[in-house]
Structure 1
């Protein structure tokens, strides 16, 4: 790409470059169009592992789900739980969810059935395999190298977001910004009735809003009615301040109008779930956690919430994990400067188990650390922090999935009554 299209300054900042701020929308459009051409050129002529397509395990009486950028499965688990609640009831589903054996005994009743997952992160794939039924095909290769995707009824996934993050360099032409094109490529082949794509809040303002416009236009061009909305996880029973964008597309020929879930917590609703509610019982037995010093960047802002508050956003890094709420609060001593009033020894980061709770994973959900006994404990647990921080909070995913699950149950019942001979749901 030529230098006039990079939309970034050749100036060192927190990342390799600092983004330019005086660009024009026309410049952004040129960058996006050029990168789209470049990304499409990377698609292989020959599919890798193409034999799997003949062995996809469809279930005619289920919503067959294709999961992209699956990670350890936070979004997938939330969908599975919503699909179970739609069949056996909310109370029964949530009661079963608390125990692995109980959940395993009933989870096959979920209206959602995953047939395919894709992710490059080995440890996340291992975690997914340990916690989900083995009746799906797990593709552990770069999505850009997958030429053909299986047919499905629903496609879900959170395409990678470092290029959009307000905490990162915010480069418009970051190649990671364009992995959504392969999400679109997947839906053009899978032809699902509905897709759900999750991403960070920063994508709404990147390129002065031109990036989200381009993304939604591209999804719409694939034959979908597309909408997006910013949701805060704490409004849905998650003890965390985490804002994420959910892009929802319904195929143009499908008679279903998706409505985003109404908040269930806050205001006159149920009280927000607090850190004390979520992790108060782990004070003495937190489990493995990331240890070590704190960087000047880490100490540039407050990292500790009170017990009666919700956590800061859980990030995909052990080093950047928020502080445990116990002990004295941090003190603000100057511009971008905070300190521990009684020294580092009296403060610690949230543990792996604590951040998993904050992301609303059940305690039975296990996370692979790669199994490398020669690696340091920090190195091993950091792989777990990364998986958990990258995941969609399970209860937020469940809230987003619930309208689809409820509609799909009725649709499947109608189809069964009509004795349809179609293999696929839609």
Structure 2
């Protein structure tokens, strides 16, 4: 008799089989070999890789699913902090001209990104150095990836809602497989993958177990960490999972430390950053924001935080943006209905400039709206909301990157060999 646990579409209740490391790797390699057989190497890709700006005195960084570059920017800032000091790096970060003069001093050197989101790629181009090669191609069709020391990316996870016999057997997880394919091909020292909190609990914990096993089979010691952005100076309640991968030979010398919150209410911690701290000065000059009515779903829960609190999670949608903290709070009518009090001027959505601040991008970071003047204002704004909401908060990315940046800098300074020496001028 079919039950809720056995019915098709309920694979998330199935425990993963207890496979050995060897068996996991065999399944993984078989699936990746199958994907590789479908690829056709492109001469254009080869020409692209010949243009890679490798630096043997830096840690070369590759960003997959790079979006507008929040994770990449946070790593660059961490590398700069390690090289010139935290105070000087953060001071320079606020000023575009000053930051651009010294950003090359970061020990992390981004060389290549991959993403298909047109407007996000345009934004990346506006804000990062010209030497970064942007590969605007479906990752499933990229035959070869450039060698690197660090690989970053927040891979989408459409198939992780159902944990089958193995995640790599799920055809919806091609993007996840191609992240691992890139790791197997280039063998960077470290990788960092970011994803949603739900990954930790899907399939009663089986999904995260399988993900870790699969990444480990690529030759890495992998540890997942669930963190809340507000604990690291971000004015936002945003829980995310970071998979930290350290290549097996490096893991004998370096153990990534468990993240310790820098902000909170405990002794020695800095106070949480509030909405007032982050966007208070923009109240009377917020810039453009998404307008229009609020759906029943939007009004099914509270959408407004107080000035002395942190924002709700910034979504990748203008329509779903939280309300500005000004005006009276929403009132709860019943479990699934909240009412707005006051007029529209007291209940507007957060603006693009405000959510940019909440995601800890500097004011100088410029976002592209696609440039389609025939599109509506809301449509163009939504392109920016989507980029910002999809991004890793820069300050959080820096906090995650800092232990690696400090280890790399100190090792280089002491003369230890922590970097692979290579020059790649063509396809592997």
5 Å-filtered alignment, 1:229-268, equals 229-254=225-250, 255-267=253-265, 268=267
**8 Å CA contact 2:149, 2:189 repeated in 1:** yes
1:45: how far off? 2.7
Task: Determine the structure 2 residue equivalent to 1:25.
Answer: 15
Residue 423 (1) aligns with residue 422 (2): yes
Alpha carbons of 1:304 and 1:27: their partners in 2 closer, same or farther (altered >3 Å)? farther
Gaps of 5+ in 1: 11-18, 165-169
Q: Deviations over 1:26-77 (max 9, x none)?
A: 5999xxx999977864443313432222221100010000110000000000
Secondary structure, aligned partner of 2:246: strand
Task: Determine the structure 2 residue equivalent to 1:46.
Answer: 40
1:24: how far off? 2.8
Which of 84, 87, 111 does residue 88 from structure 1 map onto?
Answer: 84
1:207: how far off? 1.5
1:8: how far off? 9.9
Q: What TM-score, normalized by structure 1, do the two folds share?
A: 0.88
CA distance in 1, matches of 2:136, 2:241: 26
Number of positions where the alignment pairs a residue of Structure 1 with one of Structure 2: 403
Task: Determine the structure 2 residue equivalent to 1:126.
Answer: 122
5 Å-filtered alignment, 1:47-86, equals 47-48=41-42, 49-51=44-46, 52-86=48-82
Task: Determine the structure 2 residue equivalent to 1:16.
Answer: none
Secondary structure, aligned partner of 1:197: strand
Q: Deviations over 1:136-192 (max 9, x none)?
A: 21011111111111111010111124666xxxxx45578655522111111111110
Task: Determine the structure 2 residue equivalent to 1:303.
Answer: 303
Task: Determine the structure 1 residue equivalent to 2:370.
Answer: 370
**8 Å CA contact 1:152, 1:424 repeated in 2:** no
1:194: how far off? 0.7
Q: Deviations over 1:95-127 (max 9, x none)?
A: 100010000000000000011100110000000
Q: Deviations over 1:389-409 (max 9, x none)?
A: 000000000000001111111
Task: Determine the structure 2 residue equivalent to 1:217.
Answer: 213
Task: Determine the structure 1 residue equivalent to 2:390.
Answer: 390
Secondary structure, aligned partner of 2:280: helix
1:335: how far off? 1.9
**8 Å CA contact 1:260, 1:400 repeated in 2:** no
**8 Å CA contact 1:258, 1:403 repeated in 2:** yes
CA distance in 1, matches of 2:172, 2:355: 26
Task: Determine the structure 2 residue equivalent to 1:402.
Answer: 402
Task: Determine the structure 2 residue equivalent to 1:117.
Answer: 113
CA distance in 2, matches of 1:294, 1:27: 46
Which of 185, 188, 203 does residue 184 from structure 2 map onto?
Answer: 188
